[in-house]
Amino acid sequence: MINISLPDGSIRSFDKPVSGADIAASIGPGLAKAALAVRVDGKMKDLSTVVDHDAKIGIVTSRDPEALELLRHDAAHVLAQAVQELYPGTQITFGPATDDGFYYDFVRSEPFSPEDFAKIEQRMAEIVDRDLPIVREVWDRAAIKDYFAKHGESFKFEWVDELPKGEEISVYKQGDWLDMCLGPHLPSTGKLGKAFKLTKVSGAYWRGDASKAQLQRVYGTVFFSDKELKDYLRRIEEAEKRDHRRLGREMSLFHQQEEAAGMVFWHPKGWTFWRTLEAYLRRKLDAGGYQEVKTPQLVDRKLWEDSGHWEKFRENMYLSENEEGLRDFIGDPDKRIFALKPMNCPCHVQIFNQGLRSYRELPLRMAEFGSCHRFEPSGALHGILRVRNFTQDDAHIFCSEEQIESETIRFCKLLGEIYKDLGFPDYFVKFSDRPPVRAGSDAVWDQAEGALRSASKAAGLDLQLNPGEGAFYGPKLEFVLRDAIGRDWQCGTLQVDFVLPERLDASYVAEDGSRKRPVMLHRAIFGSFERMIGILIEHYAGRFPLWLAPTQAVVVTIVNDADSYANEVAEQLRAAGLRVDTDLRNEKINYKVREHSLAHVPLILAVGRRDMENRTVAIRRLGSEKQEVLELGAAVTTLSTEARPPF
Q: Which of 519, 540, 561 corresponds to the end of one domain?
A: 540
pLDDT at 326: 47
The Cα–Cα gap between 423 and 118 comes to 40
* % of the chain with per-residue pLDDT over 90: 87
Tell me the mean pLDDT in the region 112-123: 96
**CB-based contacts of 514: which residues, under 8 Å, 6+ apart?**
none
Asked whether residue 219 is assigned to any structural domain, the reply reads yes
Check if 347 is active-site. no
Number of alpha helices (DSSP H) and beta strands (DSSP E) in the chain: 21, 35
Asked whether residue 251 is assigned to any structural domain, the reply reads no
The Cα–Cα gap between 156 and 218 comes to 18
Shared domain check, 504 and 459: yes
pLDDT tens digits for range 165-176: 888 999 999 999
Tell me the mean pLDDT in the region 77-101: 95
Amino acid at the residue 514:
S
Are residues 20 and 37 in contact, defined by beta-carbon separation less than 8 angstroms?
A: yes
Q: Is 496 helix (H, G, I), strand (E, B) or coil?
A: strand
pLDDT at 516: 96
Query: CA angle, 601 as apex, 534 and 393 as ends, to 5°?
Result: 30
The Cα–Cα gap between 469 and 453 comes to 15
Shared domain check, 369 and 293: yes
Check if 257 is active-site. no
pLDDT band, residue 189 (cuts 50/70/90): very high
Shared domain check, 277 and 402: yes
The Cα–Cα gap between 189 and 49 comes to 17
pLDDT tens digits for range 316-370: 999 987 655 445 445 555 568 899 999 999 999 999 999 999 999 999 999 999 9
Which helix (H) or strand (E) segment holds residue 404: the answer is helix 404-421
* Mean per-residue pLDDT over the chain, rounded: 93
DSSP for 188-228? BGGGG-S-EEEEEEEEEEGGG-TTS-EEEEEEEEE-SSHHH
Asked whether residue 547 is assigned to any structural domain, the reply reads no
Give the full edge-to-edge strand order of the sheet including 337-340: 298-300, 337-340, 319-321
**CB-based contacts of 169: which residues, under 8 Å, 6+ apart?**
138, 139, 140, 141, 144, 160, 163, 180
Shared domain check, 50 and 73: no
pLDDT tens digits for range 104-116: 999 999 999 999 9
CA–chain centroid gap for 359, Å, is 37
Q: Which of 483, 513, 540 corresponds to the end of one domain?
A: 540
Asked whether residue 249 is assigned to any structural domain, the reply reads no
pLDDT at 439: 83
pLDDT at 82: 98
Check if 301 is active-site. no
Q: Measuring CA to CA, which residue among 369, 372, 384, 180 is closest to residue 279? A: 369
Tell me the mean pLDDT in the region 375-393: 93
Asked whether residue 586 is assigned to any structural domain, the reply reads yes
Asked whether residue 647 is assigned to any structural domain, the reply reads no
Check if 249 is active-site. no
Check if 372 is active-site. no
Count of structural domains within the chain: 4
Shared domain check, 53 and 16: yes
Q: How far apart are the first and last CA of the chain?
A: 66
Shared domain check, 623 and 607: yes
- Rounded to whole angstroms, what are the CA distances from 624 to 324, 580, 587, 617, 620? 66, 20, 21, 16, 7
pLDDT band, residue 1 (cuts 50/70/90): confident
Check if 374 is active-site. yes
pLDDT at 322: 66
CATH number at residue 607: 3.40.50.800
pLDDT band, residue 21 (cuts 50/70/90): very high
CATH number at residue 348: 3.30.930.10
- Model's pTM, two decimal places? 0.82
Q: Looking at 324-328, 470-474, 588-592, which range is the least confident one?
A: 324-328
Tell me the mean pLDDT in the region 16-44: 93
Q: Looking at 317-321, 481-485, 488-492, 574-578, which range is the least confident one?
A: 317-321
Shared domain check, 289 and 399: yes
Residues paired with 603 in a beta bridge: 553, 621
Shared domain check, 569 and 503: no
Asked whether residue 263 is assigned to any structural domain, the reply reads yes
Is the omega angle on the peptide bond into residue 435 within 30 degrees of 0, that is, cis?
no
pLDDT tens digits for range 553-584: 999 999 999 999 999 999 999 999 999 999 99
412 assigned ligand-binding residue: no
Shared domain check, 499 and 629: no
Domain residues for the domain of 580 are: 553-642
pLDDT band, residue 60 (cuts 50/70/90): very high
345 assigned ligand-binding residue: yes
Helix, strand, coil distribution of the chain in percent, nearest 5: 40, 25, 35
pLDDT tens digits for range 429-466: 999 999 888 888 889 899 999 999 999 999 999 999 99
The Cα–Cα gap between 601 and 208 comes to 44
Shared domain check, 310 and 191: no
**CB-based contacts of 597: which residues, under 8 Å, 6+ apart?**
604, 622
Q: Which of 183, 210, 239 corresponds to the end of one domain?
A: 239
Q: Exactly one of 388, 396, 503, 531 is catalytic; name it.
A: 396
pLDDT at 99: 86
Residues paired with 214 in a beta bridge: 205
Shared domain check, 71 and 56: no
Q: Exactly one of 242, 284, 516, 522 is catalytic; name it.
A: 522
Asked whether residue 362 is assigned to any structural domain, the reply reads yes
Half-sphere exposure of 267 (CA within 13 A, CB side): 12
Check if 284 is active-site. no
Q: Exactly one of 301, 373, 374, 579 is catalytic; name it.
A: 374
Q: Exactly one of 185, 476, 523, 539 is catalytic; name it.
A: 476
For 439-471, letters b (16+ CB in 10 Å) and e give bbeeebbebbbebbbebbeebebebeebeeebb
CATH number at residue 12: 3.10.20.30
Shared domain check, 625 and 528: no
Computed from CA positions of residues 484, 485, 486, 488, in that sequence, does the dihedral angle turn out positive or negative?
Answer: negative
309 assigned ligand-binding residue: no
